[in-house]
């Protein structure tokens, strides 16, 4: 589906229109973007059937822009707008806390055109003097520039993984390909990816390389040799491929999965045993004969250890444990029995409860929990008391209608500034599950944020804390919170910590999961899906849990409905 791309295009056009001083047009584009983002139908289907203008907010002008984009893969109108705009909107727009309006203001007042100009102006203290901006904004701009610098070249796993899976799918259609696998950081399920690594085996490597460089989603070929190549996909991410002999698939996969430190340690262990390890196999030093290479298991075994899951290969102590046969048995990708955070049309989601339930049933789940937003949050359509009761009836009705999956009613409540919730206890008591999270006051000092969350965890109605650190991978650092104290309290109060699998969130992250598991805290992996397709994000959360060495027992939604409910506070 290109829905998100189209919505992004319209939003981007709206950003540039700020410079053209077209307030009505801006609003129209933003509104249309919202509609398309929330559309459950495939926008390309709507387009093919010439129904674009039937969508609310899409008039002739906007329909034409969408048509051009879907036909040609780019927008001529946007290109013209870009040419006519004097500033580097794309890079400036990535700095958190400044939108197109501020960019325009900064251009008018300080002639800021690039991120470098912005940094210079902030360092000289010029931004705080502009009305409506002030010293805090200036400090935040400097922090965001630093943050953007650190993260800009890496892509969230969620995006890289779908591109990687698509490449694997295409390569599998080629008869010359014997085996093909994702390798590198994507196979290790690292939260951000520098480039995608693919490994294939074949007797005709040139044919595989030829096919690889000509895939329809390739934008540029960066390097091309007889057995390896690098391309840049249209999505912007680089993909490296290596084609090797089928006999050494295991050794090659081990090598190209990494990480580098893990490999270095393995090589050292090989040397101690009179062996030599490379991407071509494990060899006896004296005879130069290959002793293992067909599978990763073979190689690990000959090195004197059990198989290590890719998500653990980070040189974090896993090799020593493997040598002593003491590795934890990680939660598996098929162990999840239900998803405990998702949104529907009752708040800001784009599917109905029934649609979400049917999609979840297809995934083989036993239960789901609907957790629409409540209260005073600036989210469109948040639930109040009355609508929570109406929703209960809706859920009861659908539970009667659909067999084979149980729909629970929950909410995602906001933890207010003082640690209380934005929905009274007498309402929350009646719900199956209450998920609480912080959506405001991100800049609060550590002590205050920590106390806010602690107070919410002591609340008898709160079952799960959602996205506990509030970070957005490429946009926002986490708020300052004392997770040691939070985990201690989680154990004491039996509050579940969420591993939010939404690609931009991945929160708790891997290292936090590991600390939580160590502290004996129970976890839930939830997608936070805002439409039915997004239920597939679950595997990202499972990958994160595995990177945090979590076992099935640590994750409450691997349990049957009855057992899962029993493990909650109330």
Q: 95-134 mask for ligand DGT (x: CB under 6 A)?
A: ----------------------------------------
- Relative orientation angle of helices 60-72 and 3-20, to the nearest 10 degrees: 120
373 versus 559: smaller Cβ distance to Zn ion: 373
Rounded Cα distance between 309 and 262, Å, is: 12
Among 348, 355, 480, 533, binds Zn ion (CB under 5 A): 348
Q: Which does 450 bind (CB under 5 to 8 A by kind): Zn ion, ligand DGT, Ca ion, none?
A: none
Q: Is the peptide bond before 259 cis (omega within 30 degrees of 0)?
A: yes
Total site size for Zn ion, rule CB under 5 A: 2
Among 57, 93, 194, 306, binds ligand DGT (CB under 6 A): 194
Q: Which does 348 bind (CB under 5 to 8 A by kind): Ca ion, ligand DGT, Zn ion, none?
A: Zn ion
Q: Does 250 bind Ca ion (CB under 5 A)?
A: no
Q: Closest approach of Cβ 504 to ligand DGT, in Å?
A: 17
Q: Closest approach of Cβ 194 to Ca ion, in Å?
A: 5
25 versus 228: smaller Cβ distance to ligand DGT: 228
SS3 content of the chain, % helix, strand, coil (to 5): 50, 15, 35
Q: Closest approach of Cβ 76 to ligand DGT, in Å?
A: 34
Q: Does 197 bind ligand DGT (CB under 6 A)?
A: yes
Q: Does 338 bind ligand DGT (CB under 6 A)?
A: no
Among 71, 175, 260, 403, binds ligand DGT (CB under 6 A): 260
CA dihedral 547, 551, 556, 561 (to 10 degrees): 130
How deeply is 72 buried, as exposed, middle or buried, from its count of CB atoms within 10 A (0-12, 13-18, 19+)?
Answer: exposed
Residue pair 186/196 in contact by the 8 Å Cβ criterion: yes
181 versus 500: smaller Cβ distance to Zn ion: 500
Q: Closest approach of Cβ 349 to Zn ion, in Å?
A: 7
How deeply is 36 buried, as exposed, middle or buried, from its count of CB atoms within 10 A (0-12, 13-18, 19+)?
Answer: buried
Q: What is the DSSP letter of 415?
A: B
Q: Does 467 bind Zn ion (CB under 5 A)?
A: no
Rounded Cα distance between 350 and 372, Å, is: 11
Q: Closest approach of Cβ 160 to Ca ion, in Å?
A: 9
For the record, the structure tokens of 275 come out as 């062996």
Which residue has tokens 């249209």?
234
**Vertex 382 angle, CA 377 and 387, to 5°:** 140
Q: Closest approach of Cβ 111 to Zn ion, in Å?
A: 39
Q: Determine the interface stretch with ligand DGT among 37-45, 182-190, 460-468, 542-550 (rule: CB under 6 A).
A: 182-190
Residue pair 519/487 in contact by the 8 Å Cβ criterion: yes
Among 242, 313, 343, 512, binds Zn ion (CB under 5 A): 343
Question: How far from 455 is each of 285, 414, 447, 498, CA to CA, in Å?
Answer: 62, 12, 12, 17
Q: Determine the interface stretch with Ca ion among 238-246, 270-278, 361-369, 476-484 (rule: CB under 5 A).
A: 238-246
Q: Does 184 bind ligand DGT (CB under 6 A)?
A: yes
Instruction: Give φ, ψ of 524 to 5 degrees.
Output: -125, 135
Among 28, 55, 98, 193, binds ligand DGT (CB under 6 A): 193
Question: How far from 213 is each of 206, 241, 488, CA to CA, in Å?
Answer: 11, 10, 52
Q: Is the peptide bond before 508 cis (omega within 30 degrees of 0)?
A: yes
Q: Closest approach of Cβ 549 to ligand DGT, in Å?
A: 19
Q: Closest approach of Cβ 203 to ligand DGT, in Å?
A: 24
14 versus 199: smaller Cβ distance to Ca ion: 199
Q: Closest approach of Cβ 184 to ligand DGT, in Å?
A: 3
Among 195, 366, 498, 510, binds Ca ion (CB under 5 A): 195
Residue pair 520/550 in contact by the 8 Å Cβ criterion: no
Q: What is the DSSP letter of 555?
A: B
Among 184, 310, 503, 543, binds Ca ion (CB under 5 A): 184
Among 138, 240, 298, 477, binds Ca ion (CB under 5 A): 240
Q: Does 278 bind ligand DGT (CB under 6 A)?
A: no
Rounded Cα distance between 495 and 264, Å, is: 40
Q: Does 197 bind Ca ion (CB under 5 A)?
A: yes
Q: Among 476, 448, 446, 450, which Cα is nearest to 465's?
A: 450
Among 256, 487, 537, 549, binds ligand DGT (CB under 6 A): 256
Total site size for Ca ion, rule CB under 5 A: 5
Among 11, 75, 263, 391, binds ligand DGT (CB under 6 A): 263
Residue pair 456/492 in contact by the 8 Å Cβ criterion: no
- Listed as own residue / partner, the contacts of 39-43 with beta carbons closer than 8 Å and 24 or more positions apart are 39/3, 39/350, 40/350, 40/351, 40/355, 40/531, 40/532, 42/1, 42/2, 42/3, 43/1, 43/2, 43/3, 43/6, 43/70
Q: Closest approach of Cβ 29 to ligand DGT, in Å?
A: 35
Q: Which does 263 bind (CB under 5 to 8 A by kind): Ca ion, ligand DGT, Zn ion, none?
A: ligand DGT
For the record, the structure tokens of 289 come out as 């004969």
310 versus 410: smaller Cβ distance to ligand DGT: 310
Rounded Cα distance between 526 and 517, Å, is: 17
Q: Does 282 bind ligand DGT (CB under 6 A)?
A: no
Q: Does 185 bind ligand DGT (CB under 6 A)?
A: yes
Give contact residues for Ca ion (rule: CB under 5 A).
Answer: 184-185, 195, 197, 240
Give contact residues for ligand DGT (rule: CB under 6 A).
Answer: 184-185, 190, 193-195, 197, 255-256, 258-260, 263-264
Give contact residues for Zn ion (rule: CB under 5 A).
Answer: 343, 348
């Amino acid at each position: 589906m290109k829905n998100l791309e189209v919505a992004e295009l319209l939003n981007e056009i709206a950003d540039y229109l700020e410079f053209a001083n077209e307030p009505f047009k801006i609003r129209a584009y933003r509104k249309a973007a919202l509609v398309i983002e929330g559309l459950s139908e495939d926008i390309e289907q709507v387009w093919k059937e010439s129904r674009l203008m039937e969508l609310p907010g899409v008039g002739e002008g906007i329909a034409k822009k969408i048509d051009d984009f879907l036909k040609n893969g780019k927008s001529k109108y946007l290109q013209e707008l870009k040419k006519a705009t004097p500033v580097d909107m794309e890079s400036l727009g990535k700095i958190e806390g400044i939108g197109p309006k501020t960019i325009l203001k900064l251009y008018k007042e300080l002639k800021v055109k690039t991120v470098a100009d912005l940094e210079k102006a902030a360092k000289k203290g010029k931004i705080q003097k502009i009305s409506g901006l002030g010293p805090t904004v200036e400090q935040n701009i400097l922090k965001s520039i630093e943050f953007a610098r650190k993260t800009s070249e890496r892509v969230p796993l969620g995006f890289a993984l779908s591109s990687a899976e698509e490449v694997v799918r295409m390569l599998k259609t080629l008869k010359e390909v014997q085996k093909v696998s994702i390798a590198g950081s994507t196979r290790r399920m690292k939260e951000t990816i520098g480039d995608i690594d693919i490994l294939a085996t074949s007797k005709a490597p040139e044919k595989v390389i030829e096919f690889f460089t000509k895939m329809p989603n390739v934008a540029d070929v960066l390097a091309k040799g007889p057995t390896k190549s690098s391309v840049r996909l249209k999505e912007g991410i680089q993909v490296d491929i290596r084609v090797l002999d089928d006999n050494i698939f295991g050794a090659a996969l081990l090598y190209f999965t990494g990480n580098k430190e893990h490999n270095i340690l393995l090589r050292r262990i090989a040397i101690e045993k009179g062996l030599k390890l490379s991407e071509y196999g494990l060899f006896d030093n004296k005879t130069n004969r290959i002793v293992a290479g067909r599978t990763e298991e073979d190689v690990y075994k000959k090195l004197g250890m059990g198989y290590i899951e890719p998500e653990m290969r980070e040189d974090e102590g896993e090799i020593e444990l493997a040598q002593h046969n003491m590795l934890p048995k990680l939660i598996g990708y098929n162990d999840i029995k239900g998803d405990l955070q998702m949104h529907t049309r009752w708040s800001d989601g784009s599917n109905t409860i029934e649609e979400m339930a049917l999609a979840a049933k297809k995934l083989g789940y036993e239960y789901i929990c609907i957790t629409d937003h409540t209260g005073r949050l600036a989210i469109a359509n948040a639930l109040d008391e009355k609508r929570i009761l109406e929703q209960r009836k809706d859920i009861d009705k659908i539970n009667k209608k659909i067999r084979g999956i149980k729909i629970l009613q929950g909410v995602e409540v906001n933890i207010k500034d003082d640690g209380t919730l934005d929905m009274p206890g007498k309402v929350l008591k009646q719900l199956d599950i209450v998920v609480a999270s912080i959506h405001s006051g991100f800049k609060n000092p550590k002590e205050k944020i920590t106390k806010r969350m602690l107070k919410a965890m002591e609340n008898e109605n709160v079952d799960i804390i959602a996205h506990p650190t509030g970070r957005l991978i490429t946009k926002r650092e986490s708020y300052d919170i004392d997770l040691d104290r939070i985990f201690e309290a989680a154990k004491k109060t039996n509050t579940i910590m969420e591993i939010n699998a939404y690609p931009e969130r991945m929160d708790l992250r891997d290292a936090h999961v590991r600390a939580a598991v160590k502290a004996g805290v129970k976890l839930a992996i939830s997608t936070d899906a805002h439409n039915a397709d997004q239920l597939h994000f679950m595997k990202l959360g499972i990958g994160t849990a595995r990177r945090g060495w979590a076992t099935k027992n640590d994750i409450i939604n691997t349990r049957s409905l009855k057992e899962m409910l029993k493990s909650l506070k109330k």
